[in-house]
Amino acid sequence: MRIGHEYLATLPFDLYGLSLLQLVLHHQSFTRAAEAAGLTQSAITRQIQGMERSLGVQLIERTTRSVRPTPAGEFLLSGTRGVVGDVDVLLRRLREEFCGAGKVVRVGVSKSISMAYLPGFFHANRRHAPEVGIQVRHETGAWILEALGAGELELGVLCPPARLPRGLQVTHRFRDDFTLVVPSTLSVPSPLRGRALAAWMQSLDWLLPVETSVTGQRLREWMSGQRWPTRPVMELEGFDLIINLVGLGLGSAFVPVRALALYGRKPGLRRVALPQRFQRELVVVTRRKPAVPSHVEAFVRNILF
């Protein structure tokens, strides 16, 4: 045991230094990282330089325009990315379980999920566990996965990525059906099938979710499989704005059926039933370890999806 203590005392960096390195590379800026950490830029620079001197290798490549990891820095980060998050989660749970701190569920909801879903996520939890606080971030799926890995979130609700990062797990899956909405002033041919359907779809001005999102990619793949156009007149991050723009007559879109619940009988909006229907999957993602605390498990069980 004594040898272990002596070894720890000679480590070239500690958890604090490692967290600062992650912060610099997350923000890709010493200035923004210093602001987030509540330090001066010179202080955070000295911390990183001290790590590099102790290790005898450069970790960050600095230019006048960018900050990025060197191969050695990427190697260090890839092997320790979850360490700081694990410790942060353990300390947070220690405060909640043994020090009387209020329990909080930190949730990330993907921007491709409409605001209409949120009452179902939170209503039952507020009723059954009013003492548990809820913090919500409405961000991209990529940001949510990174925040989960860093221990900044307890769970995320998003479309499953092609590859789930190591250390994360899917706990629940939901099916999400889409429907076509068009401006109410738009004439719809009948019957809507075959060549008439194909020609009509070619004539529409499309509003689509951004192609960088998982939903945007999969919706385009599905439309392409139907031999429908996938070049939009406008790309947007959220379906709430898309639905409102369709109602204003600015285009047509495939949107989640549940998202329309927020808008009732919105003037200017018309649903169109098609023989084919696009579906996506939504998942709840948490960290694998430390074990998910009971109040977070209860939160997931109470989601009304």
- For 36-101, the three-class secondary structure string (H helix, E strand, C coil) is HHCCCHHHHHHHHHHHHHHHCCCCEEECCCCEEECHHHHHHHHHHHHHHHHHHHHHHHHHHHHCCC
Considering the entire predicted model, what is its pTM? 0.76
Rounded to the nearest integer, the mean pLDDT of the chain is 87
pLDDT-derived band at 9 (thresholds 50, 70, 90) equals low
pLDDT in tens, 201-236: 999 999 999 999 999 999 999 999 999 999 999 999
**In the structure encoding, which two tokens stand for residue 245, read together?**
């723009």
The arithmetic mean of pLDDT across residues 269-287, rounded, is 93
Decide which of 110 and 91 is more confident. 110
**In the structure encoding, which two tokens stand for residue 59, read together?**
């970790």
Residue 240 CA to residue 117 CA, distance in Å, equals 11
Q: Domains (ranges, CATH) in the chain?
A: 2-80 (1.10.10.10), 83-174+282-301 (3.40.190.10), 176-280 (3.40.190.10)
- Predicted pLDDT at 2: 47
pLDDT-derived band at 5 (thresholds 50, 70, 90) equals low
**In the structure encoding, which two tokens stand for residue 255, read together?**
């949107």
The arithmetic mean of pLDDT across residues 53-67, rounded, is 85
Residue 297 CA to residue 283 CA, distance in Å, equals 14
In degrees and rounded to multiples of 5, residue 237 shows phi and psi of -85, -35
pLDDT in tens, 92-107: 777 777 777 788 899 9
Angle between helix axes 118-128 and 294-301 (nearest 10 degrees) is: 130
Angle between helix axes 30-37 and 15-27 (nearest 10 degrees) is: 130
Give the chain's radius of gyration (CA, Å): 24
Which residue, 89, 90, 138, is CA-closest to 237?
138
pLDDT in tens, 12-43: 777 788 888 888 888 888 888 888 888 898 89
Secondary structure class of 133 (helix, strand, coil): strand
- Predicted pLDDT at 1: 41
Strands 253-256 and 234-236: unpaired
pLDDT in tens, 125-134: 888 888 889 9
pLDDT in tens, 228-253: 999 999 999 999 999 999 999 999 99
- Residue type at 186? L
- Predicted pLDDT at 189: 86
200-203-207 Cα angle (round to 5):
110
**In the structure encoding, which two tokens stand for residue 304, read together?**
């009304």
